[in-house]
């Protein structure tokens, strides 16, 4: 009654209908007279963005998988690495070889996972009328971020097995065989 220009709307219902039809949710604007008034806001809290928390969890899991993959890679190839060291390979060469394999595997996994996850976002952007240039720019920036973080985590968590392997002598490895 106080606001004849406005009507009550169930925002969660509209949001669920919009999401079910892959439509953007409508934006509701508060009238300027109410926005500048001294009245307390109707909503005390602010919605929490949980996507950042999920990103940290996903990257932590990916980092642990990269570390586990590096350890398995080193264990399976200990004899080969021992022979390389016995022939005269430097420790830095062995470290670079292990890190290159860990980074390559992590990058392939990140690219495949990104392609699967981003396909829905691309479809959403295209169906909402975004231009192809905007879609390509968005996807490119997102892919660069994901690949960059993946490579950093792969290097950091791949260093532990690489350093562990280079710390052993060739005789230690060959004695275990």
Give the tens place of pLDDT for each residue, 6-37.
666 566 666 666 667 766 655 556 566 655 65
Q: How many CA atoms lie within 13 A of 17 on its CB side?
A: 7
Model confidence at 144, pLDDT cuts 50, 70, 90, reads very high
User: Which has the closest alpha carbon to 109: 63, 77, 74, 72?
Assistant: 63
Instruction: Give the tens place of pLDDT for each residue, 26-72.
Output: 555 656 665 565 555 555 555 556 677 777 787 778 777 777 877 88
What pLDDT, on a 0 to 100 scale, did the predictor assign at position 158? 82
Residues 173 and 53: their CA atoms lie apart, in Å, by 42
User: Which has the closest alpha carbon to 94: 74, 108, 75?
Assistant: 74
Residues 101 and 7: their CA atoms lie apart, in Å, by 61
Tokens of 102: 């860990």
Q: What's the angle, vertex CA 66, arms to CA 65 and CA 70, rounded to 5?
A: 115
pLDDT at 152 over 80: yes
Residues 13 and 174: their CA atoms lie apart, in Å, by 67
């Amino acid at each position: 009654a106080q606001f004849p220009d406005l009507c009550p709307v169930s925002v969660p219902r509209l949001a669920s209908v919009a999401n079910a039809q892959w439509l953007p949710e409508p934006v509701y604007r508060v009238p300027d007279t109410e926005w500048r008034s001294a009245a307390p806001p109707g909503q005390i809290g602010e919605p929490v963005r949980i996507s950042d928390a999920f990103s940290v969890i996903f990257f932590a899991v990916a980092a642990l998988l990269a570390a586990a993959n590096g350890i398995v890679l080193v264990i399976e190839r200990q004899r080969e690495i021992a022979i390389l060291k016995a022939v005269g390979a430097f420790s830095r060469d062995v470290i670079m070889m292990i890190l290159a394999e860990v980074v390559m595997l992590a990058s392939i996994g990140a690219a495949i996972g990104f392609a699967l996850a981003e396909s829905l976002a691309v479809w959403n952007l295209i169906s909402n009328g975004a231009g192809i240039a905007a879609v390509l720019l968005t996807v490119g920036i997102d892919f660069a971020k994901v690949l960059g973080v993946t490579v950093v985590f792969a290097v950091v968590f791949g260093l532990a097995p690489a350093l562990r392997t280079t710390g052993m002598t060739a005789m230690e490895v060959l004695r275990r065989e």
